[in-house]
Structure 1
Amino acid sequence: MLSRTASSLYWLGRYIERADFIARLVEATVRLDTLSTRPAGEAAWVSALAVTDTEEAFAASGACPSQRTVARFLTTDASHPGSVVSCLDMARGNAKAVRTALTRDAWTAINRAWLLFERGRAVDHPADALALVEEVKHEARGFEGAVHRMLRNHTTWFVRLGQAVERSDNTARLLDVKYHILLPAGEPVGGVVDRDQWTTILHTVAAVTAYRWLYSDGLTPANVIDMLLTRVELPRSLAASTEEVVELLGLLSRRTAQHGGADQMARARAMRVARTRSGDVILSGLHEHLQAFIRENDQLHAAIGRQFRFG
């Protein structure tokens, strides 16, 4: 496989995963802001910008953070790379470059998602934002299903590798930002607002039902952290994503005969994650742990590019 083809497939996976994640984050933040017992207001939308690392780009726009301005910025604003529409545009561009490697179902899902924004969509009201992100999620699920029905070869492995690397980054950033959001003055830890914010995380990673299956003692921050760090049963956990990266790199290395630093780095990371105990991480510093993971994930991404000569 040509290096540029491998690169397009890998980035296709990353951009589709990122678009789906941002859509889910917007959906969860709308619900936190409008449907909670005590609406979170500006703080919730500032945190959404922090998770997506778009604070500076938003500040440059001159707008004040609110449901209308941030939801529009993260969904339909094509002026920066951190919006759903920008991610889908990049995904479609990469998909066009490898069109013959994709099935009709996979291409159609990407194209339909992109067409959602082609004629412009208003997200000025919560119902508009929820309707749009639900359509994006639907097409992202359609793409993922199509990939899993394709031949299991280097084409699908590169797409899934991109998705797994992106998923790791998204989950780590989401958990890190929430853990460092200060509650409004007078709000107790474990109170209504705090519980709503942790529930928002579960909605963003589609894990509300999974949490109830895995933990029987109610919603607690420690359990949410444990699930997102260590539970391999949850596809969006750091443990599951790191395992998947190791598996996919092994398949690709055997098929392409291209072995290198990415394989070694991924295996070493997976071994450390498997030994991780959430209680120890909380005591020693969750923020530091997650920041180190994010940096290592960036290093792994660069190593993958070198190993497969993405350029």
Structure 2
Amino acid sequence: MLCRTASDLYWAARHIERAENTARLADVTLRIALLPERYDRGKKEAAPWRRALDALGLADAVRQRYGRIDSETVLRHLLLSPENPSSIYNCLHAARECARAQRVAITAEMYEDLNTSWLEMRGRTWSRLHDDGVSNLLEWVKGRSASFRGVTIGTLGRGEGYHFLQLGAFVERADWAIRLLDIAGSEGEAEAREQDAVDYFRWSALLQSLSAFETYRRLYRESVSAAGVVDLMLLQESNPRSLLTCTATAHEVLQTLAGGEALEVVRQAGALSAQARYARIDEILERGLEAWLQDAMARLTRLGEAIHREFMVSTDVASPTVAIARQWGAEQ
């Protein structure tokens, strides 16, 4: 397969997965913003939105562009901004452009699905979004991502093109398994008698935004807790969005693409998968969750760079996809 084809298919999948997870991030932040945290009036609404931007490395960009951080500016930037290369607007556009460039490598149904998503997204405005409700757009984005995933599984042959699409989706999803844990982290100081209720709501909001609340209930008998949610999002193979599931799948795909060769990129993927497979939640929390996540993110970033070096076109080639890839890496 040509390097350009591999790159476009890989990034088409990453863009769609990024759009969906950005919608999930906005959803969980909207839920957490309802919590009666003890902030002064000027910071009360901004605090959860600032935390969401911090997880993406976008706080300075939003502050410089809009002059403030609140629900409206963050939603505009994450959902509709043409100036933000990782907004949902630009992700759907980039995915469609990648697919258009590789129409011979995918099925007609796949391209039509992405084209439909982009054409519908292109007509969205802030006033329309405000009238229709932000939640409706977020559910629409998640539905369009699921639609593309279903069409791909149902129509595309299991050749190299399919494998690069899978690789892109699971590498991006692994990235967000780490990022989304930051959103539900503790905020501020609450009275001891209030903290249990606040934590329960915060972690429950994250589970609901990830469509994982029922999975949690089936796996854990105790009440929703930080330890349980972290375990589910990082170490549970039964969770399709866990770091373990994503890294294990990426490793399997890379082994297939390597065709038996002992490639460094396969070794890196295997090491990251093993880190998630053999970790213990009590050891992670004892060491410090933030340190563990930072190490996992650094390994994942290096894996993404190794994938690009091994299979993709040179980053010197000027293209919208490469520009977005560079910015996302810089934000990490």
The question of 1:161 aligning with 2:167 is answered yes
1:186, 1:269 → 2: CA distance? Answer: 39
Runs in 1 of length 4+ with deviation above 6 angstroms?
Answer: 37-40
Task: Give the C-alpha shift of residue 185 in structure 1.
Answer: 4.5
Task: Give the C-alpha shift of residue 267 in structure 1.
Answer: 1.2
1:78, 1:203 → 2: CA distance? Answer: 29
SS for the counterpart of 1:276 is coil
2:76, 2:207 → 1: CA distance? Answer: 23
Q: 1:308 to 1:216 in 2, by over 3 A?
A: same
Q: 1:95 to 1:158 in 2, by over 3 A?
A: same
How big is each residue's C-alpha offset from its partner over 1:6-43, in whole Å with a ceiling of 9 and x where there is no partner?
00011111111000000111122223335x67797322
Task: Give the C-alpha shift of residue 201 in structure 1.
Answer: 1.8
Task: Give the C-alpha shift of residue 52 in structure 1.
Answer: 2.6
How big is each residue's C-alpha offset from its partner over 1:144-174, in whole Å with a ceiling of 9 and x where there is no partner?
1111112111111101101111111111111
SS for the counterpart of 1:191 is helix
Matching residue within 281, 284, 290 for 2:284: 281
Q: Is the 8 A contact 1:232 1:239 kept in 2?
A: yes
Task: Give the C-alpha shift of residue 108 in structure 1.
Answer: 2.1
**AA partner of residue 85 (structure 2):** P
How big is each residue's C-alpha offset from its partner over 1:263-293, in whole Å with a ceiling of 9 and x where there is no partner?
1111122222211001101001111110011
Q: 1:126 to 1:66 in 2, by over 3 A?
A: farther
Which residue number corresponds to residue 293 of structure 1?
Answer: 296
Which shows bigger deviation, 284-293 or 118-127?
118-127
Q: Is the 8 A contact 2:13 2:168 kept in 1?
A: yes
1:76-155 matches, within 5 Å, as 76-122=80-126, 125=130, 128-149=133-154, 150-155=156-161
2:162, 2:255 → 1: CA distance? Answer: 14
The question of 1:172 aligning with 2:175 is answered no
SS for the counterpart of 1:117 is helix
Q: Any gaps of 5 or more consecutive residues in structure 1?
A: none
Q: 1:3 to 1:182 in 2, by over 3 A?
A: same
Matching residue within 258, 269, 272 for 1:269: 272
Q: Is the 8 A contact 1:88 1:114 kept in 2?
A: yes
Q: Is the 8 A contact 2:203 2:226 kept in 1?
A: yes
Q: Is the 8 A contact 2:268 2:303 kept in 1?
A: yes
Once the two structures are aligned, what percentage of the paired residues are identical? Answer: 31
Task: Give the C-alpha shift of residue 176 in structure 1.
Answer: 3.5
Q: Any gaps of 5 or more consecutive residues in structure 2?
A: 39-43, 315-332
Which residue number corresponds to residue 32 of structure 1?
Answer: 32
